[in-house]
Structure 1
Amino acid sequence: MARNRLEVMTQVAARFGDAARLPLGPKTLYFFNSPEHAKHVLADNPANFHKGIGLVHARKALGDGLLTSEGELWKSQRRTMQPVFQAKRINLQLNAVADEAELLTARLRGHIGHGSVDVRKMMTELTLGVLGRTLLAADLSEFASMGDDFEAVQNQAMFEMMSLNAVPGWLPLPHQLRFRQARRSLEQVVARLRADRLDHPRAVGDDVVSRLIEATKEEPDRAVALTRMRDELVTLLLAGHETTASTLSWAFYLIDRHPEIRRRLHEEAVSVLGGGPLSLADMHSLTYTTRVIEEVMRLYPPVWILPRLAQEADEIGGYRVPAGADVLICPYTLHRHPGHWDRPDDFDPDRFEPGRSAGRARYAYIPFGAGPRFCVGNNLGMMEATIVLATVARDLRLTAVSGYRAQPEPMLTLRIRGGLPMTVHPAG
């Protein structure tokens, strides 16, 4: 599990089927891999399945944000955040996303004929910029180290997950020292965002920072209020930018390997985005681009595993699990289940055409999770990925450097290991 988590999950699914009990040191993991199992754990009986192995341990790194909290705290946080993510408000952010996509395309165009560029890094910068404009009403470009800080936080969270918090946090290990510095840096970002919003208030509910200030204003201890804001913002920024950045990185890599898909993507982008400001109708016309994004998230779901902890004994698909059981639902293996997907390892966006999707089990595809903890940012993530992919494909062609093969790295998200070096060419 420590060396190759995806390979373990893939082999377990292939060898033992849809349900398996896995010993892992002092723990036993209960692995379930069918749509019915996912439905039961995530949607039918979610109150019995709290966040489990890994995410509990990641709390030391991430705090009690929306990703790791439970119970009444989670419900309160969800109520605070939900209005900012309503579809009507997200649709109003269309031009901001389109502007960021055009700026990205211009930056990429500047690399034509000048060697390779790390596309994963550029996607990270893009998605942080989008989140700043759409959710925080803030320019995050001045915080130059933020991408590296989130890298350190994610590395620490994964370390805590795999070590089960067995390593004391005070040990001066290199990654723990980097994490401490990153936390201090991110705390300074949160303090500055809060101070700036207090100096320049907006309508309450218009952005995440305003809502968090309102939600914590009755807290008498300023340090506690800042900690809560830090946990929420760090979780929001990490989950929000990293998931979309990973999806776009995988998209550009896979498109380069499939020329016919790249051609169709380019033709649709030219037709729909040919001129004038982008409208909501234009975005809804990017049907093939949307299918490409959906297929990318099938093969490389940004949230590749959903760990849960059974509060009481339960039965999942006829299998008994005891109270305290660590239950794993793995979208990576579920999305490649040969019983629910034809040619599951092929990159085929047309499998999401309405005719081919008819009859597919509802929970065979869960890139945003399911049930009450369905990803609150799904609308913004899909809008952003679709617009960015179409805008770049309209003007440019990205090609992986000779001999490069992307390797998945299953961290909190399923990102490309070590970056994505690509060269930039005019489209056509």
Structure 2
Amino acid sequence: MTVVAGPAGRTRRVPPGPPRTATFRLLRELFTDRLSLLSSAASRYGDAARIAIGPKALYLFNSPEGAKHVLADNSSNYHKGIGLVEAKKVIGDGLLTSEGELWRTQRKLIQPAFQHKRIAAQAGVVAAEAGQLVDRLRNRIGAGPVDMTHEMTGLTLGVLGRTLLDSDLGDLGDLGSIGHAFESVQDQAMFEAVTLSLVPSWLPLPMQRRSRKANAELRDVVNTLVARRAERAGEDVAGADVLSRLIESTRRESDPAVGAKRLRDELVTLLLAGHETTASTLSWALYLVGRHPEVAARLREEAATVLGDRPPEFADLRRLSYTGMVVQEVMRMYPPVWLLPRIALAEDEVAGFHVPAGSDVVVCPYTMHRHPDFWHRPELFDPDRFHPDHTADRPRYAYIPFGGGPRFCVGSNLGTMEAVFTLAMISRELRLRGAAGPAVAEPMLSLRVRGGLPMTVHPAH
């Protein structure tokens, strides 16, 4: 820790961190191994670290106190930061990247689609989509490895289309291809972030070309969704879904071009955020459960006891308590939103340390969820740590898979229901075995399984 002089002779504490001479090593780690970079900083320097990388300095706060201050208590002083700033170039000003009054308007617009009663009413849709997935997997018994990341992407996009957009996205083609398009735009956004936006986007690099192609594909998807909804204008459509609300809202824009861009940005963001995080969580869940037979057995027993041979209903979400604990533990070890980056608008003091105006501030759920002060043997996969008897004394901001404060994930309840129902239905019917070695986490905008997740499908009994 360093102490510097401030105005009027006041002293200011500066978080400890690696020396400037480590810049090239840090740049290499930022580009190739971001999780290790932040994990090492948290382990070596404690709950606050200042990581100087070239012209930037990242302020990492790895305590519930620091996270709560940045995300909730003084959230108005912090706008979206590194990674999400660059994401604007590829996904526009949707709910994920917007700020201020625009963000408040967008949040108010889509919030009704995520109300408790509406989510409860969608339980049957989620169960039906999960049932179709189980049927597809059952047909692959003995047929060789299946890429489960591809399957989870198809599932979550299918659920998103039917629950939030009142649309069958399967009619648009291979849902996995839409997922690959989103992977390409994420790759480009992260490339912009780790290269500090110094590489011109017009260069004909393979990644740049893939990103432009992916953006064109996503524009086609959005245009098709809007055109199909226009064809239904004469139907008795209730208009409670997000697509209807967005179309109605953007129609009121005085400039049609502005309205069209806002509609496109919102839909692309919804498609990305609405499927990517849950698909990542389910992929990691299948991977971890496949490596822990005792967890798989408990999941299978609970699903058989609670559900029998019927599909789950909304009331079962509470009854599938162990399955819910498994999902929570998966999101502890591999939080889909692994980094919460911010930019300080004005100088601040966080957890006793000075943060200058304009600084890049990061809260990292991945490192927070492995903090040894709050998690016993944090590298161990142990769903029982989320039993109610074990959670009472844990600080609220020690576990933040959905963020915190005003920008807490609006889709958390729908995503949780989707993950619990799907995991229960797969566990009841099938056993999945990893077809390769240990999976590797790839920290992009979400925490993906690098290179896919090949697994073989077997009967449950």
TM-score by length of 1: 0.98
Equivalence for 2:328: 294
Q: Which amino acid aligns with 1:423?
A: T
Q: Name the CA distance, whole Å, in 1 between partners of 2:311 and 2:373.
A: 44
Pairs within 5 Å for 1:235-254: 235-254=269-288
Q: Which residue of 2 aligns with 1:371?
A: 405
| Structure 1 residue 204 displacement after superposition | 5.7
SS in 1 for 2:52: strand
Alignment of 1:403-418 (within 5 A): 403-418=436-451
Counterpart residue number, 1:116: 145
Correspondence 1:57 to 2:86: yes
After superposition, give the CA deviation of every residue in 1:327-374 in whole Å (9 maximum; x if it has no partner).
Answer: 010000000000011111110001011111111111000000000000
Matching residue of 2:223: 191
- Alpha-carbon spacing, 1:115–1:276, altered in 2? closer, same or farther (3 Å): closer
Q: Does 1:100 align with 2:129?
A: yes
The SS at the match of 1:392 is helix
CA distance in 2, matches of 1:271, 1:230: 45
Taking the TM superposition and a 5 Å limit, the aligned residue runs for 1:19-418 are: 19-143=48-172, 144=174, 145-201=177-233, 203=237, 205-401=239-435, 403-418=436-451
Deviations 1:182-227 (CA, angstroms, capped at 9, x unpaired)? 1112112111211211221464641111011111112243332221
CA contact (8 A) 1:256 1:262 kept: yes
Q: Contact (CA 8 Å) 1:204, 1:214: kept in 2 or not?
A: no
| Cα distance in 2, alignment partners of residues 140 and 2 from structure 1 | 34
Q: Residue 171 of structure 1 aligns to a residue in which SS?
A: coil
Q: What are structure 1's unaligned runs of at least 5 residues?
A: none
Q: Classify the secondary structure of the residue corresponding to 1:2.
A: helix
Residue 283 of structure 1, CA deviation: 2.3
Q: Once the 2 structures are TM-superposed, how far is the Cα of residue 84 of structure 1 from its aligned partner? A: 0.7
Q: What is the CA-CA distance between 1:279 and the residue it aligns to?
A: 2.2
User: 4+ residue runs of structure 1 moved beyond 4 angstroms?
Assistant: 202-205
Question: Is there any run of 5+ residues in structure 2 with no aligned partner, and where?
Answer: 1-29
Identity among equivalent pairs (%): 61
> Secondary structure, in 3 states, of the residue corresponding to 2:31?
coil
1:422 is aligned to 2:451: no
Distance in 1 (CA, whole Å) between partners of 2:311 and 2:402 is 29
> How far, CA to CA, are the matches of 2:98 and 2:315 in structure 1?
37
Tell me the distance in 2 between the aligned counterparts of 1:290 and 1:53: 32
Q: Which structure: larger Rg?
A: 2
Change over 3 Å in CA distance of 1:205–1:42 after alignment to 2: farther
Provide the rounded CA distance (Å) in 2 between the counterparts of 1:122 and 1:161.
29
Q: Residue 187 of structure 2 contacts residue 207 of structure 2 at CA under 8 Å; is this kept in 1?
A: yes
Secondary structure (helix, strand or coil) at the match of 1:422 reads strand
In structure 1, C-alpha distance between the alignment counterparts of 2:351 and 2:308, rounded to whole Å: 50
Contact kept, 8 Å, 2:333 with 2:369, in 1: the verdict is yes
Distance 2:211 2:404 in 1: 31
Q: Which amino acid aligns with 1:190?
A: V
